[in-house]
Amino acid sequence: MIILDVTIKEVDFCLVNIYVPNSNNTKFFENMHNMIQRYDKLVIKVGDLNTVIDPAKDRAGDRRDYQDKKCGAILSMMSSIDLVDIWRIKN
């Protein structure tokens, strides 16, 4: 995870670039959540979560019943710090 404090045209924000390990370990998200929560400015998170949020949309064929333990941790973090998945909003 890379975190940058950025100012563009006098607007301060935090840019978080993330690559989540491909495992069912939820500890990574707890740590990331704690780090992001410290910022009192706009947070833009980009990267690869390596997680299935919605199996109906994110999986094809027989694997639509797939359950990922990280999904709950991600959704909880997103809700608590008002993160949105812009791809899901636009598609």
What is the residue whose two structure tokens read 């929560």?
A: 37
Long-range contacts made by residues 75-81, C-beta under 8 angstroms, separation at least 24? Answer: 76/33, 77/29, 77/32, 77/33, 77/36, 80/33, 80/37, 81/33, 81/36, 81/37, 81/43
Per-residue model confidence as pLDDT tens digits over 26-81 = 788 788 878 888 888 888 888 888 777 877 777 776 665 556 677 887 888 788 87
pLDDT band of 8, cuts 50, 70, 90 = very high
Higher pLDDT, 65 or 10: 10
What integer pLDDT is reported at residue 75 of this predicted model?
A: 84
Asked if the model's pLDDT at residue 25 lies above 80, the reply is no
